[in-house]
Amino acid sequence: MTMKYNFNEIEAKWQKYWAENQTFKAENQSEKPKYYVLDMFPYPSGAGLHVGHPLGYIASDIYARYKRHQGFNVLHPQGYDSFGLPAEQYAIQTGQHPAITTKDNISTYRRQLDQIGFSFDWSREVRTSDPSYYKWTQWIFIQLFNSWYNNDTDKAEDISTLEKLFSTEGNSNVNAVCDDNIESFSAEDWNDFSSEKQQKILLQYRLTYLAETEVNWCPALGTVLANDEIVNGVSERGGHPVIRKKMTQWSMRISAYAERLLQGLNKIDWTDSLKESQRNWIGKSVGASVSFNVNNHDAVIDVFTTRPDTIFGVSFMTLAPEHELVSKITTPEQKEEVDTYIKATAKRSERDRMADVKTISGAFTGAYAEHPFSKEPIPIWIGDYVLAGYGTGAVMSVPCGDERDYAFANHFNIPIPNIFEGVDISEEAFSDKEKTIIANSDFLNGLNYKKATKRAIYELEQIGQGEGKTNYRLRDAVFSRQRYWGEPFPVYYMNGLPQMIEAEHLPIKLPEVEKYLPTETGEPPLGNATVWAWDTAKNEVVSNDLIDNETIHPLELNTMPGWAGSSYYFMRYMDPDNQNEIASKEAMDYWQDVDLYIGGSEHATGHLLYSRFWQKFLFDKGVVPYDEYAKKLINQGMILGTSAFAYRLDLGSFGFDGKGEDIKDQMYKFNVFVSSELLNRLKDSVEEKVEFTNKVRTKLASINLDKGRLVNVNIDLKRVHAIHADVSFVNSSNELDVKAFRNWREEYKAAIFIGEKGEIIEEGNDVYKVGRDVEKMSKSKYNVVNPDDIVADYGADSLRLYEMFLGPLEQYKPWNTAGITGVHSFLKKLWKLYADDNGLKVTDAAPTKDNLKTLHKTIKKVQEDIENFSFNTSVSTFMIATNELTAQKCTSKDILEPLLILISPYAPHIAEELWSQLGNTTSISTAAFPEFDASHLVESSKNYPISFNGKMRFTMELPLDMSKDAIEEAVLANEKTQEQLAGRTPKKVIVVPGKIVNIVG
């Protein structure tokens, strides 16, 4: 039998074997230690995978396979985040049910994933759009509804504990996270309230609640748009106007968890940049709230400040134009100015206000507030640099210490008192905290930032006009979407009040609709459903016609957002078929949490923050065992495309005689492309350009022109169009397949190509080289590379190795298909180490010292690399090992068998095949990882680098056990040393035994 490396056959064989033998099925009961490796699951888009997508999956797969070799029971699941907008858009356009689109897309994804050879346990697959899955999404929603956040115990509790408090002592002592402006009531009041009133009050405390929220409503499209679907105030699609509209929607009280979400970051090993993003998003600021009395009014202005130490520097106050007090305190003289200003700001969109930082605007209300300590009057202004939605919508302005206040004061000639010792504020504000020493501030004089802040808060508390306070930027999350393809809420409405459906009746399945668009009355798409009412007697979904508001009630029309299903899927993988619980206690106790989570950084503040919130909530409720679900998280970088460009000379370069259509026709034929490197040379040299132009003129004139006649050629190199060429037309030497390019587009059919030598290309007389540039991989740039093609041409093992070989996992790096020949020929070389035309070469020969040295340094390096997620360097290590063993003509099984285990996480198919060729009857996947033995790496001598003033000039082989002095002596005696010194005496000789010799002088 001749043995060739027939990768297509081998890979299909082992993929079949793994599937049939359920090789990667993880058991929930095992003596082995557990290890949970998770990928962020994909949204199955219609376009399928490109080579950038599997990068993270390959990395996690290597790690999962490595952990199996280490003796772990590895959970490595995969599934689909399968609710989402693209399938719904497609449904709107074509009428095809999103479930069908999704199913089709998933089967494409599955085929593509399978052929890359991932060790996923597919028996645990989940799909968020599957009712048996979203049953639990709905269940969690109900739990949130039935919970409130108790600040005293600092956790979520069942709503019944709150009801009990209300009925025994009212709400004045309840320390809960809740809506603003809650009226206080006694136990008696509570017990006298109607059920409706009680429900309304409880809704103000629940962790998910209904609230009026502003949305971007597009009347023309009849739908709500996300911020990034709006460009310049109009819809991205169609350019229709968008208005702010208030809508009753579900919100999640994530703000209750702000502090715990922040603190939790300290105990998880996630990337610093990701933690930083989350910290930013949570936006904690510590300071004080201060109350200013308004003169001649009973009104009080509350502000939040991070710098209570600068309170004596306040020279004015600024309210947001929308602040409710503005109309009350504005004096008659100032009314007109204030009203004009409010009108003007209302016209400006929030985006405009944010973009325009330089224009300073505002208006004086005519009112004054009283300084809490000095009792001086402080003018009250309004200005749009203060945002109504943050803090209290009002600030105490300290121009000497805040840039925006400084600019505002300067612009309106408001005094800028200096309260900093030894600081010049004539040019700009002084916002440094560290160097701050307070002056001109009564009791704060001479204190630094920290002490002054503490003292100021203390004094404010003494006079009852302020207290220490912490603010968070994190807002509650809107949870309703006016879409069809999402999880339905387990909610019906009685008298307009939301009621939860009992958990035992879940899942509430998404109803069928005729159209996937909003209804004519502007209701969400579920408003089109005819069977969408809840029968409280039969406990089932029934026809809308039966709604009587007695036993049969309308169901919620919104659906849940994309992040709902992805916020707990990692728990569901532990026990995906469980009908009674998210996962059994045994499964959760065994798998506990994710040990390694790999995914893209674009989820930093979306999925990764919301899922932490749900985890903490479920932890409070005793559902899950940990309050953080992923110990370690790595963001894989993106693979970028290497676009190819053909350079077309401007059509204006050519003059023709002839008229109208004839010329247009000719022009198309005169798509003249100039080869990339030639073009660059022409740009550099005027003479060459003149010569080239003449040459082109002669050549073009000699081509038979059927209709027009070329009369003028005047090439302007500044007017060259770079046209994206499909990367599949380009070979590894950047040469364009001219024929393929011509057939690509009608207008290039007769295009003329001028090659590197300046020749017009006909049958191989010259080559056309494209220019290259790195861009995001995208269809529109014709630089998308499909893994299917790579697998067909080079095999999955080559693809896996190459993706890792490209560079560090976390980095952004360009894909260039040309480079894959390197790893592919490595695999062929590896194969040849084991087999040739005469069959298997491996023998029982005893390994040589060199063989052992190569093997063991490879074991050491690969193990270190995998544990450091440095997969690119271990591919190099494999290449070096193979090169060395080939040179050593190694055939020893004692070397070659363990080598396969090292390579198997990276290139599992070839490893399995050779492993079985060596006579093994079970999969390599659980073979024990070879043990590193340092004794094989011990050396007796060292090739010392000899440096002069730090520069290596030559090397010298010396025994490793040689003493420092003997080394110095030997080096100085060397004639090359004398040559380097050229008669000078060395000032100093540094000898680091085993490392280096450096001669100074």
Partner RNA sequence: GCUCAAGUGGCGGAAUUGGUAGACGCGCUGGAUUCAAAAUCCAGUUCUUUCGGGAGUGUGGGUUCGAUUCCCACCUUGAGUACCA
Interaction with RNA in 599-628: which residues (CB under 7 A)? 601-602, 604-605
785: contact with RNA by CB under 7 A:
no
To the nearest whole angstrom, how small is the minimum distance from the Cβ of residue 950 to RNA? 3
Q: Are strands 155-158 and 147-150 parallel, antiparallel or unpaired?
A: antiparallel
Binders in 932-971 for RNA, by CB under 7 A? 943, 945, 947, 949-953, 955
* Contact of 316 with 379, CB cutoff 8 Å: yes
Nearer to RNA, 164 or 757 (CB): 757
To the nearest whole angstrom, how small is the minimum distance from the Cβ of residue 879 to RNA? 4
Nearer to RNA, 30 or 280 (CB): 280
| Residues contacting 344, CB < 8 A, separation 6+ | 361
Nearer to RNA, 128 or 471 (CB): 471
| Alpha carbon distance, N-terminus to C-terminus of the chain | 67
The total of other beta-carbon atoms located within 10 Å of residue 844's CB is 8
Nearer to RNA, 296 or 731 (CB): 731
341: contact with RNA by CB under 7 A:
no
Using CA atoms, how far apart are residues 418 and 398, in angstroms rounded to an integer?
9
Which two tokens mark 202? Answer: 């409880």
7: contact with RNA by CB under 7 A:
no
Complete DSSP assignment for 448-494: BHHHHHHHHHHHHHHTTSEEEEEE--PPPEE--B--SSSPBPSEEEE
CA-wise closest residue to 561 among 995, 83, 915, 64: 83
Distances (CA, A) of 94 to 68, 90, 99, 207, 378: 46, 6, 13, 39, 64
273: contact with RNA by CB under 7 A:
yes
**Residue in 393, 488, 755, 795 binding RNA, rule: CB under 7 A:** 393
Binders in 404-443 for RNA, by CB under 7 A? 404
Using CA atoms, how far apart are residues 558 and 544, in angstroms rounded to an integer?
16
**Residue in 19, 100, 845, 992 binding RNA, rule: CB under 7 A:** 992
Nearer to RNA, 527 or 758 (CB): 758
57: contact with RNA by CB under 7 A:
no
| 484 half-sphere exposure, CB direction, 13 A CA radius | 26
Q: Are strands 771-775 and 639-649 parallel, antiparallel or unpaired?
A: antiparallel
Nearer to RNA, 201 or 474 (CB): 474
**Residue in 391, 498, 576, 847 binding RNA, rule: CB under 7 A:** 391
Using CA atoms, how far apart are residues 394 and 382, in angstroms rounded to an integer?
9
* Contact of 437 with 422, CB cutoff 8 Å: yes
Q: Are strands 813-814 and 639-649 parallel, antiparallel or unpaired?
A: parallel
Nearer to RNA, 354 or 792 (CB): 354
Query: Which x/- pattern, by CB under 7 A, does the window 343-362 give for RNA?
Result: ----------xx-xx-x---
Largest Cα–Cα separation, the chain: 110
To the nearest whole angstrom, how small is the minimum distance from the Cβ of residue 430 to RNA? 14
Q: Where are the beta strands (DSSP E) in 518-669?
A: 533-535, 540-542, 552-554, 596-599, 633-635, 639-649, 654-657
Which two tokens mark 630? Answer: 């992923």
CA-wise closest residue to 486 among 903, 134, 113: 134
Q: Which residues pair with 248 in a beta bridge?
A: 212
* Contact of 859 with 930, CB cutoff 8 Å: yes
Nearer to RNA, 295 or 306 (CB): 306
* Contact of 618 with 611, CB cutoff 8 Å: no
854: contact with RNA by CB under 7 A:
no
Select the span of 109-117, 381-389, 545-553, 587-595 touching RNA (CB under 7 A): 381-389
Q: What is the 3-state secondary structure (H, E, C) of 142-183?
A: HHHHCEEEECCCCEEEEHHHHHHHHHHHCCCCCCEECCCCCC
To the nearest whole angstrom, how small is the minimum distance from the Cβ of residue 151 to RNA? 21
Query: Which x/- pattern, by CB under 7 A, does the window 460-489 give for RNA?
Result: -----------x-x----------------
H or E segment and range at residue 538: none
Nearer to RNA, 100 or 357 (CB): 357
680: contact with RNA by CB under 7 A:
no
To the nearest whole angstrom, how small is the minimum distance from the Cβ of residue 995 to RNA? 4
974: contact with RNA by CB under 7 A:
no
To the nearest whole angstrom, how small is the minimum distance from the Cβ of residue 743 to RNA? 22
Nearer to RNA, 359 or 462 (CB): 359
- Report the number of secondary-structure helices (H) and strands (E) in the chain: 31, 39
227: contact with RNA by CB under 7 A:
no
What is the chain's length?
A: 1001
Nearer to RNA, 321 or 708 (CB): 321
Select the span of 124-132, 374-382, 836-844, 865-873 touching RNA (CB under 7 A): 865-873
To the nearest whole angstrom, how small is the minimum distance from the Cβ of residue 825 to RNA? 4
571: contact with RNA by CB under 7 A:
no
853: contact with RNA by CB under 7 A:
no
To the nearest whole angstrom, how small is the minimum distance from the Cβ of residue 250 to RNA? 22
Nearer to RNA, 206 or 603 (CB): 603
* Contact of 281 with 473, CB cutoff 8 Å: yes
690: contact with RNA by CB under 7 A:
no
To the nearest whole angstrom, how small is the minimum distance from the Cβ of residue 305 to RNA? 4
Nearer to RNA, 160 or 876 (CB): 876
Number of residues that bind RNA (CB under 7 A): 84
301: contact with RNA by CB under 7 A:
no
Using CA atoms, how far apart are residues 104 and 645, in angstroms rounded to an integer?
34
**Residue in 44, 814, 847, 898 binding RNA, rule: CB under 7 A:** 814
Binders in 872-891 for RNA, by CB under 7 A? 872-873, 875-876, 879-880, 883
Select the span of 73-81, 187-195, 269-277, 673-681 touching RNA (CB under 7 A): 269-277
829: contact with RNA by CB under 7 A:
yes
Helix (H, G, I), strand (E, B) or coil at 368: strand
To the nearest whole angstrom, how small is the minimum distance from the Cβ of residue 192 to RNA? 39
Query: Which x/- pattern, by CB under 7 A, does the window 302-321 give for RNA?
Result: -xxxxx------------x-
Q: Are strands 208-218 and 243-252 parallel, antiparallel or unpaired?
A: antiparallel
To the nearest whole angstrom, how small is the minimum distance from the Cβ of residue 654 to RNA? 32
- Spell out the alpha helix ranges (H) of 577-655: 585-591, 607-620
**Residue in 6, 151, 680, 732 binding RNA, rule: CB under 7 A:** 732
864: contact with RNA by CB under 7 A:
yes
Helix (H, G, I), strand (E, B) or coil at 934: helix
